[in-house]
Amino acid sequence: MNHNATSPTDAAAPKKGLLRRLYAWVLHWADTPYGTPALATMSFAESSFFPIPPDVLLVALCLGDRARAFRFAFWCSVASVLGGLAGYGIGAFFWDLESVQSFFFHYVFSEKTFADVTKLYEDWNFWIVFVAAFTPIPYKVITITAGVCGIGLPMFLVASIIGRSARFYLVAWALWRFGEPASRLLDKHLGWITTALAALGIGGFVALKYLV
């Protein structure tokens, strides 16, 4: 047996360690005077390539100053939508460059994920953008593929603004209203909460379409 062979667990360990350090680095900004600019910068970057969701810093900032929770949510939403536009631009204008595709397929998302999302755009333009903007589905995949597929920019913007704002304001409201207990709940169940709410919203619109 080759004891020097690297197991899948060993190979994944450095990546997990890097993500943990990156997570800690994101959180440390909450204890500095630059928390809001850092939140906006990370929200912008996360919409196209950054791996850590801005909710991490948003929660920490809201807990540190609950009176400013909705202000934090505002800057988080605005920066994230602008970052989504940047991701759209990458897909629309730079995707044909081999170096761009290589970077994103290697570091951000897989070729299979990219192919799967482009197929979904054929039938679910608005809802794909909204659900990704509101739930833990990687928004960056959606913004770039929207540009590649030539999805209508006004529709993309509307879906992004609604989805991103609803998500971040929901987090801010919960922390403003309930504080630390809400933080523990969001940390454990944010994905399920936002996915369930998105499903209810989509179900309501579908029902209206066929009943009205």
End-to-end CA distance of the chain: 68
Residue 162: its pLDDT value, please?
93
Cβ proximity of 75 and 82 under 8 Å: no
What are the average pLDDT values for consecutive 10-residue runs of the chain, which has 212 residues? Answer: 43 57 82 93 91 85 90 96 95 92 85 84 82 82 90 93 93 86 66 56 43 36
Average predicted confidence (pLDDT) for the chain = 80
The closest alpha carbon to 77, from 191, 177, 170, belongs to 170
DSSP state of 33: T
Q: Can you read off the two tokens belonging to residue 165?
A: 């704002």
The single residue listed with the structure tokens 């939140």 is 39
pTM, full prediction: 0.77
For residue 39, CA distances in Å to 52, 114, 184 come to 11, 27, 20
- The confidence score (pLDDT) of residue 189 equals 58
Cα–Cα distance measured from residue 31 to residue 45, given in angstroms and rounded to the nearest whole number: 21
Q: Is 43 left (phi over 0), alpha (psi -120 to 50) or beta?
A: alpha
Q: CA–CA separation, 133 vs 137, rounded Å?
A: 8
